[in-house]
Structure 1
Amino acid sequence: MAGASNSGGWSPDDLPDLPEEWGVIVIPDDLSELSDEVDAVRAELRLADPPTGWQRFTGRPAVRRFRRFAVTTLRAPVLIITLAVVVTVASLFASAWPGPPRQPATQRTASTTPEVVTTLPALELVAADGQTVPLRGRLPAVILLIDGCACTALISDTIDAVGPEIAVITVSAATASAASAATPPTGATPPANGKTVRMLNDPTGSLRTHLRLGAPDSTAAAVLVDRGSQIVRRVPRTVSVDDFRADLARL
């Protein structure tokens, strides 16, 4: 066994440990003892096929460098093309995939609740003398639509309940000739206790239509309008001033 130290000054203890799976390695002093192992290795090399011309060509250093350069150069374009194909396929699947069902849009029909009118229409009604009178000519006012209603008590109580600055206007579909006996030529009754009371006629029922009130019956309809023509309160059916007495203060 070769021993101690060499001329470099290091000893076998300076060498790293060998892997355990290699087992015990014995280095003979006479290398001729390894002739059997040398003959076995040579025999294995003789069994291998000699390299072909193509293998010798591709094994040259220049060819190996070119192959590495080509692989590096082509890697980025191939990656970009692959990503583009994946994104395109994903987009096609997303567009073809059925989404959640959409709720049908609500369509407005004739049965939809009509819009509430908030402003008194600028109508001209007929006074007892046959002259046209602007409905907005005297505001604020309490307008009573009295077709088909025995509303003498309602009209009287309303006149008593309003202040002197609030007019009371009765509207009916009676003709001007039918109302002329009960109304002065100006279309305005004498002030009751300093209050203005007017009786107007609406033969075509245009006011009731504009306000979207129901057909006349045994009750009256009351509409409270402030000075700016805004409807403060609408009572489609009433026989008593108590139904809107609290709203008179808002006029």
Structure 2
Amino acid sequence: MAGPSDNGGWTHDGGSSDDLPDLPEEWGVIVIPDDLSELSDEVDAVRAELRLAAEPTRWRRFANRPAMRRLRKVTTAAVRAPVLIISMAVLVTVASLFASAWPGPPRQPVTQRTASTTEDHLDTLPALELIGPDGQTVPLRGQLPAVILLIDGCDCAGLVSDTIAAIRPEIAVVTVAGTTGAPAQAGTPPTGATPQAQGKTVRVLQDPSGSARTELKVNKADGTAAALLVDKSGAVVRTFPRLASVDAIRPDLARL
């Protein structure tokens, strides 16, 4: 019969006192590693089981109630929705900032249009030759600066006279009619370049081919005059496809 030994051990059937009883078979094979740190996962699992097995506190019992669990679920869902909305708003804002700061294709400058100018106007007066009262060709750029009035098909005697009175002495007034045989308008001299009594110069030219309006890019004759204001360098300052009164060109005369 086994009994305790002098050193506190047990003997079994005459065996050594250091022998220990066998472990239960249901434990299976137990392997003790050389490095005890390999058992950290098992230690954590045992500690978790011990915490769950411990008697819950009053707060834990209150928190584990079904009503509180439902409240936690509702609160979590309610918090996630605003966070998602705020995140989407931040992403959209950042994308908009990048889109506005990203350099795009250069934009063409927009040309301001007024009611008195044509969409396709001249920048420079062309070297157009017309017919003077004596039947000789006269260059349209013969004397600049000038106010060119196209008066074919127009009863514009008053407009011509008012224009002559409104310009400075160094500015010429050039009238262009449609046919060589057309009578000169009242207020214009019978010659192509005759100094007037008031010190103004007026040129009376004819356009028998009818191409002047096309070359000068103004509308076809419709019973009103057309006007071009040209400075001394030949640049077209302003184009008036329809002109009924000298008051419309007064603000631009100072630019010639």
TM-score between both structures, scaled by the size of structure 1: 0.52
Matches within 5 A, 1:36-55: none
CA contact (8 A) 1:170 1:199 kept: yes
Please say if 1:183 is aligned against 2:170.
Answer: no
Matches within 5 A, 1:235-246: 235-246=240-251
**Distance apart, 1:131 and its partner CA:** 1.2
SS in 1 for 2:141: helix
Distance 1:3 1:216, change over 3 A: farther
Q: Partner amino acid for 2:131?
A: V
Which residue matches 1:115? Answer: 120
- Of 137, 148, 154, the residue aligned with 2:153 is 148
In 2, the alpha carbon distance for the partners of 1:3 and 1:159 equals 147
Matches within 5 A, 1:46-125: 115-125=120-130
**Distance apart, 1:240 and its partner CA:** 1.4
Which residue matches 1:77? Answer: none
Instruction: Report Cα offsets for 1:181-211 as digits up to 9, x if no partner.
Output: x733xx2234241111000111223221123
Which residue matches 2:167? Answer: 162
**Distance apart, 1:115 and its partner CA:** 3.2
Question: Which ranges in structure 1 are unaligned for 5 or more consecutive residues?
Answer: 5-27, 42-112
**Distance apart, 1:29 and its partner CA:** 5.0
Q: Partner amino acid for 1:175?
A: T
**Distance apart, 1:214 and its partner CA:** 1.4
Please say if 1:228 is aligned against 2:233.
Answer: yes
In 2, the alpha carbon distance for the partners of 1:132 and 1:208 equals 17
CA contact (8 A) 2:153 2:178 kept: no
Instruction: Report Cα offsets for 1:209-247 as digits up to 9, x if no partner.
Output: 123211112211111110111111211112211111121
Distance 1:139 1:29, change over 3 A: same
SS in 2 for 1:198: strand
CA contact (8 A) 1:129 1:176 kept: no
In 1, the alpha carbon distance for the partners of 2:23 and 2:174 equals 137
Which residue matches 1:30? Answer: 17
More helix by share: 1
Instruction: Report Cα offsets for 1:96-144 as digits up to 9, x if no partner.
Output: xxxxxxxxxxxxxxxxx95332211111111111211111110000000
Which protein shows a greater Rg? 1
Please say if 1:205 is aligned against 2:192.
Answer: no
In 1, the alpha carbon distance for the partners of 2:195 and 2:20 equals 151
Percent sequence identity is: 55
Which residue matches 1:171? Answer: 176
Distance 1:3 1:234, change over 3 A: farther
- Of 247, 251, 254, the residue aligned with 1:249 is 254
TM-score between both structures, scaled by the size of structure 2: 0.51
Which is further off, 128-137 or 189-198? 189-198
Q: Partner amino acid for 1:232?
A: V
Question: Which ranges in structure 2 are unaligned for 5 or more consecutive residues?
Answer: 8-14, 29-117
Which residue matches 2:221? Answer: 216
Q: Partner amino acid for 1:163?
A: R
Q: Partner amino acid for 1:198?
A: R
Distance 1:2 1:152, change over 3 A: farther
CA contact (8 A) 1:232 1:250 kept: yes
CA contact (8 A) 1:191 1:197 kept: yes
Q: CA RMSD in A?
A: 3.1
CA contact (8 A) 1:128 1:177 kept: no
Distance 1:133 1:3, change over 3 A: farther
